[in-house]
Amino acid sequence: MPKLDPQTLSRRLGNRHDYIPAAGFDFLLPTYDLLTRLLGAPAVHAELIAGAAITPGQRVLDIGCGTGNLTLLAKNTHPDADLTGCDPDPLALARAHRKAHPATGIRFDRAYAQDLPYPDAAFDQVLTALMLHHLDSETQAAAAYEMRRILRPGGGLHIADVHADRLPRLLEDAGLSCDEITPVRQGHLGTVTYIRARSPR
């Protein structure tokens, strides 16, 4: 039997959205932060932020921010950076908003990775954690082009994800150069691959 892509599988399981929500289904969203903490997501977020070496004043976008954990950690670690998180799920974004309040220099937008509502070269750095495995390969390819488009020349893309085997090829096809690809066994999450890529100068 052919393997189903994640979005088709999710629809067959009853998801009625055109995206896979953070915890698979809306009713599980309240469990998401606790569950991912237990699975080891905070360590993944910390590693991703350390690798990005964000500097003061940089414009940083977290794509597929969910309930905002990575966005908020990045802001707390680099208070002088300008942070934006985006996600298609309004329920997750509402949680992110609540957690961020009343921090300044941080905003959340409703947006899809494959159709970002930002101008060309709008960001110095892009972060994305545990999001791309929610997309089928065609949507991942479109997202890779969008990431390149919204990064300034020489800007950095920092990915941490599971099932990331085909991502480096998609990023290179979109015109990004992959500088580092590091698979790490990360507790209950299994193998998380960290990819550092750069948009051309």
Ligand X SMILES: C[S@@+](CC[C@H](N)C(=O)[O-])C[C@H]1O[C@@H](n2cnc3c(N)ncnc32)[C@H](O)[C@@H]1O
User: By CB under 6 A, which span of 57-65, 74-82, 183-191, 192-200 interacts with ligand X?
Assistant: 57-65
113 near ligand X, judged by CB under 6 A: yes
Looking at beta carbons only, is 117 or 154 nearer to ligand X? 117
134 near ligand X, judged by CB under 6 A: yes
| DSSP designation for 57 | T
Selected binder of ligand X within 10, 41, 47, 108 (CB under 6 A):
41
135 near ligand X, judged by CB under 6 A: yes
52 near ligand X, judged by CB under 6 A: no
Instruction: Tell me, by CB under 6 A, how many residues bind ligand X.
Output: 24
Looking at beta carbons only, is 96 or 176 nearer to ligand X? 96
Distance between CA 45 and CA 79 in Å, rounded? 16
Beta carbon of residue 141, minimum distance to ligand X (angstroms, whole number): 12
As beta bridge partners, residue 181 has: 195
108 near ligand X, judged by CB under 6 A: no
| DSSP designation for 108 | E
User: By CB under 6 A, which span of 53-61, 76-84, 85-93, 186-194 interacts with ligand X?
Assistant: 85-93
- Write the DSSP string, 114-157: TB--S-TT-EEEEEEES-GGGS-HHHHHHHHHHHHHHEEEEEEE
Beta carbon of residue 121, minimum distance to ligand X (angstroms, whole number): 20
Question: 23-46: buried (b, 16+ CB within 10 Å) or exposed (e) per residue?
Answer: beeeeebeebbeebeebebebbbe
Beta carbon of residue 70, minimum distance to ligand X (angstroms, whole number): 5
129 near ligand X, judged by CB under 6 A: yes
| DSSP designation for 184 | E
CB 126 within 8 A of CB 95: no
Q: Residue for token digits 């193998």?
A: 191
146 near ligand X, judged by CB under 6 A: no
Q: Which two tokens stand for residue 165?
A: 């085997």
In the complex, the residues that contact ligand X under the rule CB under 6 A are: 19-22, 36, 41, 63-66, 69-70, 87-89, 92, 112-114, 129-131, 134-135
